[in-house]
Amino acid sequence: MAGFATRNDDDPGELAEINVTPLVDVMLVLLIIFIITAPMLVQGVKVDLPKQNAPSLAGGHQEPIVITISRDRVVFLGDEPVHVKLLPERLGALLGGKPRPVYLKADRTVPYGEVVKVLAVLDRIGVEQVGMVTQPEGR
């Protein structure tokens, strides 16, 4: 029978089809989750407040910058007192345009408004990682 092609089951030309429906379902669910949660990530000042008795932060690749607000409302950058108005330029010089964590320590008697002023400065100059330093409960 010349002219008729015979089917060979061992023919490597035929490929099995992959069912992509489950993959598409999972991708659509992930897309919806990202669409819903993305606006929540960019609201307000970016500050992760530690809980009491929280474990220590894992040591990063970079040395953190420590800002301290004393009981008498003096702001220190490291061990050097700095006026809040000069904090952006001094901190900007330390950061050098690179992301670096900043730890904020404030005496518990300092009014919340004073802490917010420093946090606003950090947000304005683009600091993304701010840690609030606390003392474990019971000390």
Amino acid identity, position 8: N
List the chain domain ranges: 46-132
Instruction: Output the six-digit token pair for 114.
Output: 């004073």
pLDDT band at 110 (very low <50, low <70, confident <90, very high): confident
Amino acid identity, position 113: G
Domain 46-132 top-level CATH class: alpha beta
What are the tens digits of pLDDT across the range 48-98?
333 455 555 555 567 888 888 888 888 888 888 898 899 889 988 888 878
**Bridge partners, 132 (sequence order):** 104
The residues near 90 (Cβ < 8 Å, ≥ 6 apart) are 77, 82
Query: pLDDT at residue 28 above 80?
Result: yes
CA-atom Rg of the chain in angstroms: 28
Instruction: Output the six-digit token pair for 70.
Output: 């004393």
CA distance 103 to 119: 11
In 9-65, alpha helices (H)? 21-37
Q: Where are the beta strands (DSSP E) in the chain?
A: 65-69, 75-77, 80-82, 102-106, 130-132
What are the tens digits of pLDDT across the range 75-87?
888 888 898 899 8
Q: Residue 80: phi, psi to the nearest 5? A: -100, 125
Amino acid identity, position 38: A
Query: pLDDT at residue 119 above 80?
Result: yes
